[in-house]
Amino acid sequence: MKSMLRTCHFLLPVLLASTSVFAAEDVRCHVGTYQLEDGGGIVAIGAVSEASQLRWRRIDGRTGLLRRDGDGAWTSTLGWTDRADGVAVGFGRCGEQRISFESHAGKRLTFDVTDTTFEGNGVTLRGRLVLPEGDGRVPVVVEVHGSESYSAVDLNYMQQLFPAQGVGVFVYDKRGTGQSTGSYTQDFQLLADDAKAALLEARRLAGERAGRIGFHGASQGGWVAPLAASTAPAAQFVLVAYGMATDPLAEDRDQVMLDLRKAGYGDDVLARAREVTEATASVVASRGARGWEQLDVVRAKYAGEPWWPAMQGEFTGMVAHHTRAEVEAIAPTVEVGTSWDYDPMPVLRALAIPQLWIIAGADSEAPPEETMRRLQALAAEGRPITTQVFPGTDHGIVAFETGADGERMETGYADGYFRMMADWLRDGRLAPGAYGNAQLLAAPSAPAAPASP
């Protein structure tokens, strides 16, 4: 999910202390998926990092944060805002597995849950397989992490939403998070190795119930999931949500350009800022070994100009707005082995399995323009890539309102987003016009040629 602060989502997780997210048993006991009576549908209740709170989600994209007051009553606020939404929610006692939601009573659904540990690349990982109840074959999707540093087994909400739509899901704590061993890293190859091990474990646990199986990677997972699939013969599909088909350095550059355009600057300023992002990229990609002299030159040229403070991006603001000594002082605390030079295009071009990319059309963290252009080109080559765009959504496929100050207030997920993923995961097909305002950007124009060995 989107960072709460506008800062580098490559760097932010390592600044957050790893703490247990569950301190209150009476909150954790309500986590689950509920079937509402009288045609009320499904409501999923998930944990959040604040131990006294919960988050509800509906398949139509509506969501709210639940807080409990001193009398034990729950209040709900719209999306990720502080605005009351009027949604009335109540729970039974722990163990009763009951809910009252918008005047509908409901009972918790029962899923087939198997907890496990398995070996990744030199680490032991904690995982969980969640299947719809029964003995029939179902598709199984392995959740590949974004840049978060928290436990996916505890907090990944797809384990509530997907099984309710007939899709099995495998979640796991990536290395250095939750109950998995090792050190947190953003080394894409290591993370891909662990994801491949997770897929093999998911298939083993699912046994004969496993239908088609593959990966779902969101945000940074959009780099890792295809990379994992490229060396996992068992993988049959890849679903990427709000990821990028450019290298990680381009994400910073594109964010800086977006910062400046939002501040009202034109192409002439953006061209100058590109000199800055080239310098900061050299510093970051070399882990401080190069780029300082180049940065000194552009700082001398442009630091006095009015647009200079408006540059933020993933890391350019941190590097350009501080001295070398300041950056080097903080570097050991934020260095997590990020694969800055990773080029995703050879992997995407070589994958012969179907891919679905879901793009946030107004993504402020992963500006989508170049990614969309590249995905269109790959589809035109006949690669098995389908791309859908939800216009007017931000990172996370999240709808928003824009305040008078220009700040975005996130109100919920796009209607159709959760249905689109579940439909495609089930059988690789999508129903035209069935997913809110989603727009088909590209689909394969011809059968893909076999990938070169």
Quote the domain boundaries for residue 285. 248-334
Final residue of a structural domain among 61, 82, 108 = 108
Q: Report yes or no on 273 lying in a domain.
A: yes
Residue type for position 415: D
Q: Specify the DSSP element, H or E, that contains 271.
A: helix 267-285
Final residue of a structural domain among 57, 77, 108 = 108
Instruction: Tally the domains of the chain.
Output: 2
Q: Specify the DSSP element, H or E, that contains 326.
A: helix 324-334
Tell me the C-alpha to C-alpha distance, in Å, between residue 383 and each of 98, 232, 353, 355, 441.
47, 18, 9, 9, 14
Final residue of a structural domain among 61, 76, 108 = 108
Structure-token pair, residue 350: 């070589």
Q: Report yes or no on 74 lying in a domain.
A: yes
Distance CA 28, CA 39 (A): 26
Q: Compute the chain's Rg from CA coordinates.
A: 22
Residue 187: Cβ-neighbour burial (10 angstroms; 0-12, 13-18, 19+):
middle
Total-model pTM? 0.90
Residue 91, classed as helix, strand or coil, is strand
Q: Report yes or no on 134 lying in a domain.
A: no
* pLDDT tens-place values along the chain, 453 residues long: 333 333 344 544 443 333 344 444 578 899 999 999 999 999 999 999 888 899 999 999 999 999 988 778 899 999 999 999 999 999 999 989 999 999 999 999 999 999 999 999 999 999 999 999 999 999 999 999 999 999 999 999 999 999 999 999 999 999 999 999 999 999 999 999 999 999 999 999 999 999 999 999 999 999 999 999 999 999 999 999 999 999 999 999 999 999 999 999 999 999 999 999 999 999 999 999 999 999 999 999 999 999 999 999 989 999 999 999 999 998 888 889 999 999 999 999 999 999 999 999 999 999 999 999 999 999 999 999 999 999 999 999 999 999 998 899 999 999 999 999 999 999 999 999 999 999 999 998 755 544 443
Q: Report yes or no on 133 lying in a domain.
A: no
Q: Report yes or no on 319 lying in a domain.
A: yes
Q: Report yes or no on 44 lying in a domain.
A: yes
